[in-house]
Amino acid sequence: MSLAAKRICSELLAKAGVPVDSPARHSLRVSDQRIWDRVVAQRQLGLGEAYMDGWFECDALDEMLTRLISVDAATAIPMRPSIVLHSIRSTLINNQTRKRAFKNAQHHYNIGNDLYEKMLDKRMIYSCGYWQDANDLDSAQEAKLDLVCQKLRLEPGMKILDIGCGWGGFLEFAASRYGVTGLGVSPAEEQVVIARKRCRDLPIEIKQLDYRDLSGKFDRIVSIGMMEHVGPKNLRQFFRKCDELLVENGLMLHHTIGSLISKHHTDPFFDRYIFPGGVLPSLSQISKSIEPNWVIEDVHNFGPDYDRTLMSWSSNLSKCWSELKNYDGRFRRMWHFYLMGSAAGFRARSLQLWQIVFRRKGVDKRYFPVR
């Protein structure tokens, strides 16, 4: 163990108000002193892998991570060559080509529908719920779906495109409640199988397809939790494809996690274990990518609602891990670190959740936002 590494970490933990080996629930209880060298060498990745390997315990991991994020602890650690290399590689390489995007989706969404069925709400909506008037996960997700439908001004008979449709929950809701028809696409076959079953009695088609291969015309376009996977190098192409697919007076809504800063790389822990190739867009990157054809009619930020959503997912899993036989202890710790780290990011307000409504320029009817 390097004494210098321990000193750096101790100073950052003290600044964040995180004790070591104390009875406090947000305290680190260290069992392997190599943790300090690992964190200094690899920042967030080192901390996450140390937790996965059982080098420390923390009863309130979400609170501990919130405190570290709030003082921007990761960037206070001197940058090592491996971290610089990750940033440079992400800047130079397009991590969301067709081939890479397919593999990335397989990595996360094909790990097993049983995990997502236990973790998520009854519709399997894998994105932020809307908790304004909701008291449980099912009602928060239904409120979110209805909010999207209202913002899109859905009417019976409209044809909807859902890019990155997941397990089909939004299209099932929109077709059942608003009388629309639609197409949903996802590159992950495990999602497509369930989405087709979910929507089999509705005028909804589900295809395993990359958005770049889409054709046709749609009255409305929606993506919910998809733009994070597009990648900053592809945002302009993504919006050009939407322009090609949307009817002249159409509306589109993109629901996405957002970053406070523009970047081309993501957290190395998330890139390695959770969402390979994913990058959270900033508002600046989005607005730059839509020039000059699109008008942003509404931006709605309800990022704190994602904290509550993630904690609900974690609570669901904690009740039923014993029923999930295909995931070992290291995976369980990895997944817990992912959920708690994400909740911490939203709680510390370093992560945002935006619903953004777009129309083309030249449309003269005023758009009235819905909340």
| Span 164-220, pLDDT tens digits | 999 999 999 999 999 999 999 999 999 999 999 999 999 999 999 999 999 999 999
| pLDDT band per the 50, 70, 90 thresholds, residue 78 | confident
| pLDDT band per the 50, 70, 90 thresholds, residue 267 | confident
Instruction: Please work out, in degrees rounded to the nearest 5, the angle formed at the alpha carbon of residue 339 by the alpha carbons of 165 and 73.
Output: 125
Mean pLDDT of 234-253: 96
Length of the chain: 371
Residue 325, phi then psi, degrees to nearest 5: -90, -10
CB atoms near residue 301 (< 10 Å): 14
Distances (CA, A) of 29 to 145, 331, 335: 41, 20, 19
Residue 284, pLDDT above cutoff 90: yes
Angle subtended by helix axes 169-178 and 137-151, to nearest 10: 60
Identify which of 311, 304, 293, 309 has the alpha carbon closest to the alpha carbon of residue 353: 304
What span, in angstroms and rounded, lies between the C-alpha atoms of 52 and 335?
Answer: 9
Return the H-helix or E-strand segment holding 205. strand 204-208
3-state secondary structure of 98: helix
Could you read off the pLDDT of 85-108 as tens digits, one per residue? 544 555 556 666 766 666 666 666
Identify which of 334, 267, 258 has the alpha carbon closest to the alpha carbon of residue 51: 334
CB atoms near residue 101 (< 10 Å): 22
Q: pLDDT > 70: what percent of the chain?
A: 92
Mean pLDDT of 297-326: 96
Mean pLDDT of 211-238: 96
Give the tokens for residue 123: 């519709």
Number of H helices and E strands in the chain, helices first, is 15, 9
Q: What is the pLDDT of residue 112?
A: 82
Mean pLDDT of 260-286: 91
What span, in angstroms and rounded, lies between the C-alpha atoms of 340 and 60?
Answer: 9
Give the tokens for residue 22: 């104390």
Residue 242, pLDDT above cutoff 50: yes
Q: What is the pLDDT of residue 86?
A: 47
Identify which of 169, 353, 160, 178 has the alpha carbon closest to the alpha carbon of residue 251: 160
Residue 154, pLDDT above cutoff 70: yes
The answer to whether the CB of 162 falls within 8 A of the CB of 185 is yes
Higher per-residue pLDDT: 143 or 104: 143
Tell which phi-psi region holds residue 229, choosing left (phi > 0), alpha (psi between -120 and 50) or beta.
Answer: alpha
Q: What is the pTM of this model?
A: 0.92
Higher per-residue pLDDT: 164 or 365: 164
Q: State the chain's mean pLDDT as an integer.
A: 92
Residue 24, phi then psi, degrees to nearest 5: -60, 140
Angle subtended by helix axes 329-347 and 61-70, to nearest 10: 50
What span, in angstroms and rounded, lies between the C-alpha atoms of 342 and 270?
Answer: 10
Q: What is the pLDDT of residue 98?
A: 65
3-state secondary structure of 282: strand
| pLDDT band per the 50, 70, 90 thresholds, residue 265 | confident
The answer to whether the CB of 185 falls within 8 A of the CB of 191 is no
As a whole number of Å, the CA-based R_g of the chain is 21
| pLDDT band per the 50, 70, 90 thresholds, residue 266 | confident
Mean pLDDT of 3-17: 94
What span, in angstroms and rounded, lies between the C-alpha atoms of 17 and 15?
Answer: 6
Residue 82, pLDDT above cutoff 70: no
- Sorted by sequence, the CB contacts under 8 Å of residue 18 that are 6+ apart come out as 26, 27, 28, 64, 67, 68
| pLDDT band per the 50, 70, 90 thresholds, residue 365 | confident
Q: What is the pLDDT of residue 102?
A: 61
The answer to whether the CB of 101 falls within 8 A of the CB of 210 is yes
What span, in angstroms and rounded, lies between the C-alpha atoms of 226 and 26?
Answer: 33
The domains of the chain, with CATH numbers, are: 3-78 (no CATH), 98-360 (3.40.50.150)
Mean pLDDT of 29-41: 95
